[in-house]
C-alpha cells in the first residue's frame, strides 16, 4: 500500500473538484408553497403551518421572486396554480417525501404525527401527564413525547414543539405568551390546621413555612398582604412544587401554592386553605406557553394548545393581573 493511501484518513471528505451546490430557495418559502399547493388554498395551508394566510402569500411571493416565474394566478380573491406551479409542486412533493424518509431513519420521533411537549416537572407530573390521555383520545393519530425542563434556561437547548414554562422565560429564540393566572394561598393538612389553631395569617408564626420554586415567594406574599415582619416558627426548602405539596399533605408545614397543582388534594381534603380566601389569596401569572419561532407545521401544536386551554380552569386563563409590587 502506498504511503499516501496509508496516511490518509479513511473518512476524509475531499472538496477538490466537487461541484458547487446550486443556490436554494428559502425553506420557509418552500414550506408555504408546498402546503398551499397541496391544499389548493392559502388559508388551509396557513392553518396547517400555524401562521396567517398573509404570511403564506408573502412567502410565496418571495419564492416567485427567487424563481423568476409565477407559481399562482391570483384573481378575485382566489389563487390557482400556473403550469410552472403544477410542475414545481409535483417535484417538491418528491423532494419533501425523500426528506421525510431520511428523517424517519434517524429520528422517528420528529415525524409529523409526533408531538414533543416540554414542561416543568411538577406541572408535568401533577397536572399534564394524568390528563394527556384525554388529548390522545381526541387525537389518536398523534404520538406524544413529554419531556421535563429543569429550568426555563433549558428552553434554549431543548428540542420541542410546544412548552409550558413556569415563570416568564428570558428567551429571544421563542414565542412566549401568558397562559395561566394562578390564585396563590397558604395550604396545609386539616390536622395541622387544627393542631396549630390556624385562623389568621398571624398564626403562621406557629407554623413551618414550606418553600419551593414558585412565581411568588413567601416573602413576596407576606409583604404584599402587609405581614412582612412576621417570622415563622421554622422553614423548610424544597426545589420542586410536587415535593412541597407532598410535604404539606404529610403535615410538615404550610405551603404557598396555586390551585392548579393541588386540585386533587383539595378535592380529597388532604389539603385545605385555613384562612379566608378573599383576604389571603393573591393572583400571579405563573405559566407561559412557549413555541419555537419559525415557519413549521403546526396542526398538532394548534390542536394541543386548543385542548390545553379548554382543560385548564377557564376562570384563570390569560387574565390580566396587577403587578405584585415585588
Mean pLDDT across 110-119: 76
As to burial, measured by CB atoms within 10 angstroms (0-12 exposed, 13-18 middle, 19+ buried), residue 84 is: middle
Share of the chain above pLDDT 70, in %: 85
The DSSP line for 156-168 is: GT---SEEEEES-
Share of the chain above pLDDT 90, in %: 53
Fold of 110-180+286-316: D-Maltodextrin-Binding Protein; domain 2 (3.40.190)
Question: Residue 192: CB partners within 8 Å, gap ≥ 6?
Answer: 198, 207, 251, 253, 254
What are the structural domain ranges in the chain? Answer: 27-106, 110-180+286-316, 183-283
Q: Do domains 110-180+286-316 and 183-283 have the same CATH topology?
A: yes
Reported as a pLDDT band with limits 50, 70 and 90, residue 124 is very high
SS3 at position 203: helix
Question: What pLDDT does 19 receive?
Answer: 64
**pLDDT at residue 147 is higher than 80:** yes
Question: What pLDDT does 112 receive?
Answer: 58
Question: What pLDDT does 314 receive?
Answer: 63
Tell me what the pLDDT averaged over the chain comes to: 84
Question: What pLDDT does 302 receive?
Answer: 87
Question: What pLDDT does 294 receive?
Answer: 62
pLDDT in tens, 51-90: 898 999 999 999 999 999 999 998 776 789 999 999 999 9
Helix%, strand%, coil% for the chain, nearest 5: 45, 20, 35
* pTM confidence score: 0.62
Question: What pLDDT does 191 receive?
Answer: 97
Question: What pLDDT does 104 receive?
Answer: 61
Do the strands 143-148 and 208-211 form a parallel or antiparallel pair, or are they unpaired? unpaired
SS3 at position 234: strand
Mean pLDDT across 281-292: 89
- Cα–Cα distances in Å, from 55 out to 41, 48, 68? 13, 12, 20
The residue behind cell 426545589 is 239
Question: What pLDDT does 293 receive?
Answer: 75
Q: Which CATH superfamily is domain 183-283 in?
A: Periplasmic binding protein-like II (3.40.190.10)
Q: Are 63 and 33 in contact (CB under 8 A)?
A: yes
**pLDDT at residue 8 is higher than 50:** no
Question: Residue 276: CB partners within 8 Å, gap ≥ 6?
Answer: none
Residue range 27-106 in CATH 2.40.110.10 = no
Question: What pLDDT does 108 receive?
Answer: 47
**pLDDT at residue 10 is higher than 80:** no
**pLDDT at residue 146 is higher than 70:** yes
Question: What pLDDT does 154 receive?
Answer: 79
Kindly report which listed range (6-10, 163-167, 243-247, 285-289) carries the lowest average pLDDT score.
6-10
Q: Which three cell numbers stand for residue 276?
A: 379566608
Amino acid at each position: 500500500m502506498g504511503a499516501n493511501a496509508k496516511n490518509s484518513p479513511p473518512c476524509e471528505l475531499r472538496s477538490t473538484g466537487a461541484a458547487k451546490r446550486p443556490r436554494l430557495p428559502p425553506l420557509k418559502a418552500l414550506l408555504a408553497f408546498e402546503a398551499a399547493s397541496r391544499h389548493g388554498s392559502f388559508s388551509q395551508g396557513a392553518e396547517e403551518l400555524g401562521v396567517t394566510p398573509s404570511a403564506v402569500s408573502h412567502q410565496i411571493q418571495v419564492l416567485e421572486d427567487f424563481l423568476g416565474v409565477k407559481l399562482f394566478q391570483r384573481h378575485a380573491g382566489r389563487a390557482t396554480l400556473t403550469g410552472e406551479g403544477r410542475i414545481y409542486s409535483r417535484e417538491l412533493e418528491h423532494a419533501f417525501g425523500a426528506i421525510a424518509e431520511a428523517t424517519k431513519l434517524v429520528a422517528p420521533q420528529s415525524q409529523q404525527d409526533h408531538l414533543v411537549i416540554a414542561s416543568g416537572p411538577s406541572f408535568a407530573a401533577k397536572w399534564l401527564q394524568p390528563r394527556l390521555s384525554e388529548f390522545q383520545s381526541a387525537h389518536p393519530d398523534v404520538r406524544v413525547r413529554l419531556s421535563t425542563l429543569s429550568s426555563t434556561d433549558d428552553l434554549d437547548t431543548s428540542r420541542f414543539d410546544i412548552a409550558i414554562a413556569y415563570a416568564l422565560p428570558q428567551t429571544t429564540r421563542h414565542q412566549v405568551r401568558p397562559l395561566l393566572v394562578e390564585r396563590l394561598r397558604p395550604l396545609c393538612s386539616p390536622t395541622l390546621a387544627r393542631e396549630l389553631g390556624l385562623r389568621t395569617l398571624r398564626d403562621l408564626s406557629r407554623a413551618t413555612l414550606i418553600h419551593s420554586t414558585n412565581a411568588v415567594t413567601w416573602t413576596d406574599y407576606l409583604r404584599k398582604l402587609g405581614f412582612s415582619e412576621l417570622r415563622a416558627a421554622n422553614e423548610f426548602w424544597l426545589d420542586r412544587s410536587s415535593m412541597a405539596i407532598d410535604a404539606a399533605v404529610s403535615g410538615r408545614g404550610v405551603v404557598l401554592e396555586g390551585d392548579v397543582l393541588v386540585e386533587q388534594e383539595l378535592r380529597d381534603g388532604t389539603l385545605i386553605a385555613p384562612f379566608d380566601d378573599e383576604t389571603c389569596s393573591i393572583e400571579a401569572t405563573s405559566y407561559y406557553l412557549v413555541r419555537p419561532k419559525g415557519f413549521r407545521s403546526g396542526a398538532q401544536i394548534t390542536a394541543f394548545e386548543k385542548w390545553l386551554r379548554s382543560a385548564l380552569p377557564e376562570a384563570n386563563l390569560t387574565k390580566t393581573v396587577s403587578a405584585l409590587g415585588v
